């Protein structure tokens, strides 16, 4: 099969690969090989393993050198920078998603939770590929440009704080009300349930959230509630 032109992707990344095979491997999801058994490149999971470690070390070193905060705070900041939601958002910002090689089924499932993890893992694989191709400095430059630049927004909006805690603290501070949560719907079999939960301020249902557990749905509802009430700034 003929590979797509990856020069536009390299332009978005700000890095040109010496070995294009490393970039092709980084964008190849395991599912793609199920439909293309003759594809000459492996999937990206080994690069993901490497990139995860490189990303964590670069971010950790930056936080350690830049801030004198206690370990617990730095740990929370780092988690907010390298979690799947943040990395998936970065992937979409640089249009990385459109270059990924996936099965037809995965490609259609654009808005699922599984897609978020595919995108996040691919960013880690990309970091691993840049590290293997250009070394520490190249990987660090990519992380500095595309990931660490999000730290200011995370700190300003306290995104390192659990959404439920932030929603409760803000509601109590501004309105003198403690939020409550109610399960609105349960769907699916026992092994794959989905919960729909509403977050309420007294009788007002502010927002709903969905998740594979009640806790996950409550967090999603609180996160949506922060947006509905405009208690969090919009990302630029």
Residues with catalytic roles: 52, 124
Cα gap 42→3, rounded to integer Å: 14
**Strand ranges (E), the chain:** 180-187, 194-201, 204-211
Whether the CA torsion 62, 66, 68, 70 is positive or negative: it is negative
- Could you tell me the CA-to-CA distances from 167 to 77, 79, 117, 184, 200 in Å, in that order? 18, 19, 25, 19, 11
Return the number of other C-beta atoms located less than 10 Å from residue 110's C-beta. 8
Residue 96 near residue 9 (C-beta atoms within 8 A) = yes
Q: Which two tokens stand for residue 45?
A: 């999971």
């Amino acid at each position: 099969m003929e590979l797509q032109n990856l020069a536009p992707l390299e332009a978005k990344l700000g890095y040109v690969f010496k070995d294009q095979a490393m970039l092709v491997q980084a964008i190849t999801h395991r599912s793609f090989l199920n439909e293309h058994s003759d594809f000459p490149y492996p999937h990206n999971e080994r690069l993901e393993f490497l990139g995860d470690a490189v990303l964590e070390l670069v971010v950790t070193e930056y936080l350690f050198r830049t801030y004198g905060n206690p370990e617990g705070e730095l740990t929370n900041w780092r988690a907010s920078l390298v979690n799947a939601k943040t990395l998936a958002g970065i992937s979409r910002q640089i249009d990385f998603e459109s270059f990924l090689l996936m099965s037809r089924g995965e490609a259609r499932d654009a808005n699922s939770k599984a897609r978020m993890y595919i995108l996040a893992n691919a960013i880690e694989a990309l970091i691993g590929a840049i590290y293997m191709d250009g070394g520490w400095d190249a990987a660090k430059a990519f992380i500095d440009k595309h990931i660490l630049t999000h730290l200011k927004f995370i700190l300003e909006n306290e995104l390192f704080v659990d959404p439920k805690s932030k929603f409760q603290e803000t509601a109590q501070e501004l309105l003198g009300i403690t939020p409550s949560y109610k399960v609105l719907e349960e769907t699916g079999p026992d092994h794959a349930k989905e919960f729909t939960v509403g977050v309420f301020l007294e009788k007002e249902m502010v927002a709903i959230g969905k998740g594979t557990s009640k806790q996950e749905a409550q967090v999603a509802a609180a996160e949506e509630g922060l947006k509905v009430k405009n208690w969090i700034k919009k990302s630029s």
